């Protein structure tokens, strides 16, 4: 049976958080049973924002360990590190030459990341979506599971695939996004999306005491100043996490009681902490275990790259041949 192909990636830029899990990774695990999946720790994307060379290997390791800890199985999918398959960056250059500068400049993530760090607006940050397109198209993927912050980049990927096909003959599928029911989780500040680099996140492997402290200091409905003020769950970040982690009747109880000041934020947060702790404990245990057996993680990454390389090489060769490049072997 010819399964459809999936590619998705995650940056090794910090601790994997609840947003990554609900926006992407949980889907990744479900999908490995039905699709031919390639999942990447995309280190060339990580260097578009400030990073430290010293800690990069550990970041890459941790991210790969996170993928395994949430339930990805090397027997059922390919897990690779982007820089182990250099064809990604070669195809990215080719796609960059098809990408209109105006469209790249209008990308929301480029604008947001440029605003967050105006000192570091580099060409790579602008070109990021072309590299992401290459990550996907090098495997001729049909489907890409992402959070809603990546949907715009995927639209560009489709545009580039179409443009290539029109100019050089049909070759690439136009990959479709696959969103989870919770494609956007807000950060603990309640203002921006939860993000590794904004430091507003709850790690998926958080120790219980840190977890408790982060929940207790998280922003709720800012208009609710005192315990006896009624609150508004519709604008409360903690309530949105209850929607994910608590059973229906409990969610309804909190919704009702919050509005009449029957339950305070502290009690509401304690309930959430209990559920979150139960839910992440198995991930945390497995993540620790993998740090004690690092070879297991390294072997999986090595094997993943070995399986990805021939697919990526075949695509690149075909693309170059259609461009009339790489035909003259002077060496």
Residues recognised as catalytic: 113, 193, 196
Which residue is it, tokens 């940056």? 11
Q: 62: helix, coil or strand?
A: helix
Among 91, 136, 194, 290, binds ligand ATP (CB under 6 A): 194
Q: Determine the interface stretch with ligand ATP among 69-77, 81-89, 142-150, 203-211 (rule: CB under 6 A).
A: 142-150
Does residue 284 bind ligand ATP (CB under 6 A)?
no
H or E element, residue 314: helix 294-323
Backbone dihedral region for residue 188 (phi beyond 0: left; psi -120 to 50: alpha; all else: beta): alpha
Structure tokens at 229: 């003020």
The structure tokens listed for 219 are: 């922003």
Q: Give yes or no for a contact between 258 and 271, defined as CB atoms under 8 angstroms apart.
A: no
Asked whether position 24 contacts ligand ATP by CB under 6 A, the answer is: yes
Distance in Å, CB of 66 to ligand ATP, minimum = 11
Rule CB under 6 A: choose which of 175, 183, 231, 264 binds ligand ATP.
183
Note whether 196 binds ligand ATP by CB under 6 A. Answer: yes
What would the DSSP string read from start to end of 83-124?
GGSTHHHHHHHHHHTTS-HHHHHT-HHHHHHHHH-GGG--HH
> Which single residue brings its beta carbon nearest to ligand ATP?
23
Scanning 97-207, the segments in alpha helix (DSSP H) are 101-105, 108-116, 123-137, 151-168
Instruction: In angstroms, give the least distance from the CB of 136 to ligand ATP.
Output: 12
185 binds ligand ATP (CB under 6 A): yes
188 in Cβ contact with 201 (< 8 Å): yes
Residue 308 has, within 13 A of its CA and on its CB side, a CA count of 33
153 binds ligand ATP (CB under 6 A): no
Q: Decide: is 138 part of the binding site for ligand ATP (CB under 6 A).
A: no
Q: Which one among 146, 188, 211, 312 touches ligand ATP, defined by CB under 6 A? A: 146
Which H or E element spans position 177? strand 176-178
Tell me the site size for ligand ATP, rule CB under 6 A: 20
Pick the stretch among 64-72, 76-84, 187-195, 312-320 that binds ligand ATP (CB under 6 A): 187-195
Q: Does position 85 bind ligand ATP by CB under 6 A?
A: no
Q: How many CB atoms lie within 10 A of CB 229?
A: 12
Check residue 4 and report its DSSP letter: P
129 binds ligand ATP (CB under 6 A): no
CB of residue 178 vs ligand ATP: minimum separation in angstroms? 10
Give the residue, chosen from 6, 7, 19, 74, that forms a contact with ligand ATP under the rule CB under 6 A.
19
Nearer Cβ to ligand ATP (193/224): 193
Binding residue (CB under 6 A) for ligand ATP from 112, 149, 250, 303? 149
Between CA 252 and CA 259 the distance in angstroms is 11
Shortest Å distance, C-beta 192 to ligand ATP: 9
Looking up tokens 């990580």, which residue turns up? 46
* Residue owning tokens 């998705």: 8
Q: Which residues bind ligand ATP (CB under 6 A)?
A: 10-11, 13, 19-20, 22-24, 146-147, 149-150, 183-185, 193-197
């Amino acid at each position: 049976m010819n399964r459809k192909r999936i590619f998705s990636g995650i940056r090794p830029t910090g601790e994997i958080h609840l947003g990554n899990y609900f926006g992407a990774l949980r889907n990744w695990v479900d999908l490995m049973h039905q699709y031919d999946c390639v999942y990447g720790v995309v280190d060339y994307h990580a260097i578009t924002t400030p990073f430290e060379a010293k800690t990069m290997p550990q970041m890459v390791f941790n991210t790969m360990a996170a993928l395994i800890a949430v339930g990805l199985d090397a027997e059922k999918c390919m897990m690779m590190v982007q820089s182990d398959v250099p064809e990604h960056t070669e195809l990215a250059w080719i796609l960059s030459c098809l990408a209109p500068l105006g469209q790249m400049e209008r990308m929301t993530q480029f604008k947001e990341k440029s605003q967050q760090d105006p000192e570091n607006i580099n060409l790579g940050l602008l070109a990021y979506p072309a590299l992401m397109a290459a990550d996907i198209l090098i495997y001729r993927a049909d489907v890409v599971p992402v959070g809603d912050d990546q949907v715009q980049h995927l639209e560009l990927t489709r545009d580039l695939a179409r443009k290539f096909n029109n100019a050089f003959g049909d070759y690439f599928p136009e990959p479709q996004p696959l969103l989870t029911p919770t494609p956007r989780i807000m950060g603990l500040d309640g203002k921006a999306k939860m993000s590794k680099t904004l430091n507003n996140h709850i790690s998926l492997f958080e120790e219980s005491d840190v977890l408790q402290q982060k929940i207790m200091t998280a922003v709720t409905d800012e208009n609710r100043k005192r315990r006896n003020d009624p609150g508004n769950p519709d604008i409360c970040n903690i309530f949105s996490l209850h929607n994910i982690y608590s059973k229906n009747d409990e969610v309804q109880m909190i919704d009702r009681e919050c509005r009449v000041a029957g339950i305070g934020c502290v009690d509401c947060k304690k309930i959430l902490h209990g559920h979150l702790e139960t839910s992440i404990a198995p991930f945390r245990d497995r993540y620790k275990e993998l740090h004690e057996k690092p070879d297991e993680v390294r072997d999986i990454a090595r094997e993943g790259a070995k399986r990805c390389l021939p697919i990526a090489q075949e695509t690149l060769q075909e693309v170059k041949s259609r461009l009339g490049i790489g035909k003259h072997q002077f060496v």
